[in-house]
Structure 1
Amino acid sequence: MINKKRVSIIILLCTVGLLSAQTQAKQQVSMVITDLDTKQIVVNRNGAVKMTPASITKLITTATALEILGDDFRFKTEILVDGTINKGKLNGNLIIKAGGDPVLGSSYFDDTNFLNDWASAVKAFGISEIYGDIVADVSVFDNNPLPRGWGSPDVGNYYAAGIYGLSFLDNSLAVYFRSGRVGTKPQIIGTFPKIDGFKIYNHITSQRGVGDKAYFSGLPYENHRKVGGFIEANTDSFLVKADMPNPPMVLIKAFKDTLQKHGVLQHGKLKVSHQNVTYNRTLLPVFASYSVPLSDIVSVTNVYSNNMTAEYLLKYLSLQKHQQGSSLGGVEVIKEFWESRGLDFSSLSMYDGSGLTRYNRFSALFLNSLLVYMAKESRYADVFFESLPVAGVNGTVRNLLKNTELSGTAYLKSGSMSKVQCYAGYIIYGNKKYSIVVMVNNYAGKRKDTVAMIEKMVVDSFKGL
């Protein structure tokens, strides 16, 4: 079990230490551009300096996943029977064997009907009553939902959702508010999904012109969340998203309800097992559910900068050499893979797969070498390239390089956090293609001014080629 007091202390110490170091540092700027026809570096400004990358870390994770697993890889979730069936009655347990699928019920793929598919398969198998438990076997991953380096103020919010062997609805919880006049506390009018016994301690204030400035806090498995900040005043239904505190349990509860709608009753408990389940009898396979292809998951990860899917990929990569998926094991696999491809990973310090932690550090030269490899050596070069958002068009870079000659020709992943702004990917200029990595740390002033500085630096660099 997680020691909640210890986790809270670690989160506080990490946050204080990072903020202290941040205030003492000076601005750093790094940029590397490579001509992919010749593989020659044409711009190198402080390229060897290790810097905080934020979400361009996802390029390492997604590239490695494509290289090792393949673009058509699909995650598998199994429904199994551990017991005997006699005249429609299952005497035993119904097992959901998790396979680390990050997109069960995901809003990105409109996968809202999968529980009906599961229930239909159980009924078609000849089961009308279950005299036993529904067990979620989530032992594919370790029981450390939070990647290393994650802390306050992120944990508890939807973009810092925990990583469990069995996902559900992007591991996020929709919370709906009705707000009144400025300065009043909005009323919570509902959540989706509903979670038995779940409490929200509401400290939000209505304000005009703020949109969504609310933030949640809370740890995995805690059946409550605190929420503070501000939301728009005078709204009938205002959505704010939090993380889901225990997705495997919420899923099997929803599965039980869906089974009942299909005429299948269950008499027993709902259980989540973090260890390999000890089965009483020979297992009978009922149904196997497969995710969308990995190429689609990689695209969601890079275009929308999805932290959760990146972390699922990292943990799953760990299974290449370990029996159970973990963030640490995933990083180990990543380092060994790129070392085998001749990359110098001595500048790589990696703690998570998404870049949400400030502890990740690597040089622009390292990431540039990976981008060159993916463009020139990888069989998945096109899949990787097409997974990137287009500057001035879509994703997290839809407003970048607009009204410049590079708009629509720069395929870039962005990365940002407090005092960090980075971009990496590819730019087509004239009839040539280039890889590019730009990293800025500890900038002074406003983010929009830093982005403008980066845009000018990039445009001027290409004009000089």
Structure 2
Amino acid sequence: MRSVFALGVALCLVIVMLGLRAPLSVEERLDAVRAQFTADQTFWGIYVQEVASGRVLAAQHAHQGLLPASVQKLLTTAAALDLLGPEFRYQTVLYLNGSIESGVLRGDLILRGSGDPTFGSPSWDGPDPLRQWAQALAKQGITRIQGRIIGDDNVFDNRPYADGWDVDYLTSQFTHGLGFAVSGLSYHDNYVVVRVAATQPGAPPRVRQEPMAYLHLENRAVTAARRYGEALRMERAFGSESLRLYGTVPVGYQGTLELPVANPTRYTLEAFRRYLVAEGIRVEADLVDVDDLPSPPRYDRAQPLLVHTSAPLEEIVQLINRRSHNFYAEQLFRTLSPDGTAEGAARRIQAFLRRQGIDTQGLSIRDGSGLSRKNLVPPVVLGELLRAMHHHPAREAFLTSLPQGGERRSTLEGRLHNVPVRAKTGSLMHVRTLCGYTTTADGRMVAFALMANNYTLPAPRVVHAIDQMVRALHASP
């Protein structure tokens, strides 16, 4: 025994004499990356855990509630797969409460929404369901509709915006994915495409709306003689379907604005009316929001005419996480609620996490997409969620929804090429996050949550630091 002890001491002395030291720990490797790229100008929350054993490899401010940005979608999609199941499908139904005689439909046509985000969505491949319904009614010989066309959005409550959203998202956001209203009856992701093209100097640019001229648009913009320097501006009141374009566009300019609608139910009904007219059906019917009725429709007295069924949830969550689709995430979030409220959805997610054995202290959930600046999620919650979902019955649907490093048409398209990683990105002003899975040098899978808040240095530098941390995890023993 003494000889063995003496040999151990001798080996230690040799290591010290040769200047050797133990390999850096995972936490030390991550600290080195932070020190190199971000110094003290970023508040970091970090949690890294072995998936198989549950051993925590790194934890810094892991229990501090931080702004998650779009990694909030991990909570939404994981809870949905657990509560609804990967095979869950939305159904939107067209009902008739009336009669059809000699080609004349008299009574109420009722579009009953289920919260389906894919209904008429430009983000989803396939025919337009409203056009299909109009064609089907025409084929049944209907030539005239007399009565009312009612839109029922009551599966959700009447608060279309989450607590903590920026008002710019809802009025003048020029890029799709930020501005939208949540509704139980939605169409075309609840936004209108406005295409603007320059004409002759001094003349207004051409303006065209898609899929239809729904917004009341006043065009006061002018085509300038110069070839560069766009100065197009927009004025729009909150909750209004009217807007004014002004400013200038250069000669040769072609641009696109993607603008949210304020009343998705009315938007859906108007689109349906136009498709009916296009099929030669004379519409002598009022368009009515269900909230304007003295009492909700009696479906026990109505006849279901047509049904649109969505793709399964496992395909919908792929779009949510790979492309970080905010509208889809919010619709799915409200679907989780028994009463269609954001508060009900938040309670369902909290309960789901607790069933997975995850401590929800410090967690504040205000929306499903991560746009709200009132969300707070500790890194440990995200890390533990990732580990739980790796052992969950819906594991495959969840894991394959996360983009791989360098994957085309995903939020990781330009990042982490040739790194075995599946992860969800997050991005808001002064917030960059990345949460997912990678493997270490010896083949062990780890779940990680890397969250940067309140930084003052350029955002690309923070993103680069996060990517280098993932590479450091992959290279770690």
Give the C-alpha shift of residue 202 in structure 1. Answer: 5.9
Match of 1:435 among 417, 436, 447: 447
Relative to the length of structure 2, the TM-score reads 0.82
**Mapped partners of 2:234, 2:427: distance in 1:** 18
Measured after TM superposition, the shift of residue 379 of structure 1 is 1.0
Contact 2:223 2:251 in 1 (8 A): no
Counterpart residue identity of residue 210, structure 2? F
Look up the match of 1:151: 166
Distance 1:397 1:234, change over 3 A: farther
Return the match for 2:46 from 13, 31, 34: 31
For residues 239-264 of structure 1, what are the alpha-carbon distances to aligned partners after superposition, in whole Å with 9 as ceiling and x for unaligned? 22111232322222221222233343
> More displaced, 204-213 or 141-150?
204-213
Q: Residue 255 of structure 2 aligns to a residue in which SS?
A: strand
CA 1:414 to 1:164, structure 2 compared with 1: closer, same or farther past 3 Å?
Answer: same
Residue equivalent to 1:278: 297
Are the equivalent residues in 1 in contact too, given 2:92–2:111 (CA < 8 A)?
A: yes
- Give the residue type in structure 1 aligned to 2:454: N
Distance 2:447 2:312 in 1: 26
Secondary structure of the equivalent of 2:262?
A: coil
Question: Which one is further off, 440-449 or 154-163?
Answer: 154-163
Contact 1:27–1:442, Cα closer than 8 Å, also in 2: yes
Q: Does the CA contact (< 8 Å) of 1:138 and 1:273 recur in 2?
A: yes
State the partner residue of 2:404.
390
Contact 1:412 1:424 survives alignment (8 Å): yes
Alpha-carbon spacing, 1:109–1:54, altered in 2? closer, same or farther (3 Å): same
Q: Which residue of 1 aligns with 2:283?
A: 266
Sort the Cα spacing of 1:55 and 1:91 in 2 relative to 1 into closer, same or farther, 3 A: same
Question: How far is 1:148 from its partner?
Answer: 1.3
Matches within 5 A, 1:256-335: 256-274=273-291, 277-279=296-298, 282-319=301-338, 322=339, 325-335=340-350
Check 1:208–1:154 CA distance in 2 against 1; reply closer, same or farther (3 A cut). Answer: farther
Which residue of 1 is the match for residue 424 of structure 2? 413
Report the counterpart of residue 209 of structure 2 in structure 1. 191
The alignment status of 1:98 with 2:113, answered yes or no, reads yes
Residues 1:212 and 1:38: Cα distance change in structure 2 (over 3 Å): farther
Which residue is equivalent to 2:195?
A: 176
Q: d(CA) in 1 for partners of 2:223 and 2:167?
A: 21
Contact in 2 for aligned 1:415/1:421 (Cα 8 Å): yes
Map 1:371-386 to 2 at 5 A: 371-376=386-391, 378-386=392-400
Whole-angstrom CA distance in 1 between matches of 2:156 and 2:285: 25
Identity level (%): 27
Q: Runs of 4 or more off by more than 4 Å in structure 1?
A: 200-218, 226-231
Task: Provide the secondary structure at the position in 1 that maps to 2:337.
Answer: helix
Amino acid at match of 2:328: T
Q: Partners in 1 of 2:246 and 2:186 — Cα distance?
A: 26
Change (3 A) 1:209 1:219: same
- 1:122 is paired with a residue whose SS is helix
**Aligned-pair distance for 1:340?**
2.5
Aligned to 1:219: 238
Q: Provide the residue aligned with 1:244 in structure 2.
A: 261
Per the alignment, do residues 196 and 38 of structure 1 end up closer, same or farther by CA in structure 2, a change over 3 Å counting? closer
Query: For residue 39 of structure 1, what is the amino acid of its counterpart?
Result: G
Structure 2 spans left out of the alignment, 5+ residues: 1-39
Question: 1:240 is paired with a residue of what secondary structure?
Answer: strand
Check the 8 A contact 1:388/1:412 in 2, yes or no.
Answer: yes
The 1-side partners of 2:133 and 2:183 are apart by: 20
Cα gap change, 1:203 to 1:361, in 2 (>3 Å) = farther
In the other structure, the counterpart of 1:10 is none
Aligned to 1:459: 471
Cα deviations by residue, 1:349-408 (Å, 9 ceiling, x for unpaired) = 1111111011111110011111111011x1111111111112222311222224xxxx34
Q: Secondary structure at the match of 2:386?
A: helix
2:72 equivalent to 1:54: no
Q: Quote how far apart the aligned CAs of 1:26 are.
A: 6.3
Q: CA deviation at 1:104?
A: 1.2
Summarize the Cα distance change of 1:242–1:427 in structure 2 as closer, same or farther, 3 Å threshold: same
Check conservation: 2:199, 2:206, Cα contact below 8 A. no
1:176 touches 1:239 (CA, 8 Å); kept in 2?
yes
TM-score where L is the length of structure 1:
0.84
5+ residue gaps, structure 1, are 1-24
Residue 366 of structure 2 aligns with which residue?
Answer: 351
Matched position secondary structure for 1:343: coil
Which has the higher Rg, Structure 1 or Structure 2? 2
Deviation at 1:427, TM superposition (A): 1.3
Partners of 1:154 and 1:217 within 8 A in 2: no
Change (3 A) 1:164 1:77: same
What is the distance in 1 between the residues matched to 2:281 and 2:138?
Answer: 7
Q: Distance in 2 between matches of 1:74 and 1:210?
A: 47
Q: Per the alignment, do residues 180 and 140 of structure 1 end up closer, same or farther by CA in structure 2, a change over 3 Å counting?
A: same
Q: Is the 8 A contact 1:345 1:366 kept in 2?
A: yes
**Residues 190, 263 of structure 1: alpha-carbon distance in 2 compared, 3 angstrom cutoff:** closer
Q: Is the 8 A contact 1:83 1:280 kept in 2?
A: no
Partner of 1:253: 270
Tell me by how many angstroms 1:423 deviates. Answer: 0.4
Question: Structure 1's 153 and 263: CA in aligned 2 closer, same or farther, altered over 3 A?
Answer: closer
Aligned residue in 2 for 1:87: 102
Q: CA RMSD in A?
A: 2.9
Secondary structure of the residue aligned to 1:189 is strand
Change (3 A) 1:420 1:198: same
Deviations 1:320-347 (A, max 9, x none): xx3xx11121111111222233211112
CA distance in 2, matches of 1:456, 1:136: 50
User: What is the rounded CA distance, in whole Å, between the counterparts of 1:123 and 1:457 in structure 2?
Assistant: 59
CA 1:83–1:293: 2 relative to 1, 3 Å = same
Looking at structure 2, the residues matched to 397 and 228 of structure 1 have their Cα atoms a distance apart, in angstroms, of: 36
Separation (CA, whole Å) in 1 of partners of 2:65 and 2:362: 6
CA offset at residue 196 of structure 1? 4.8
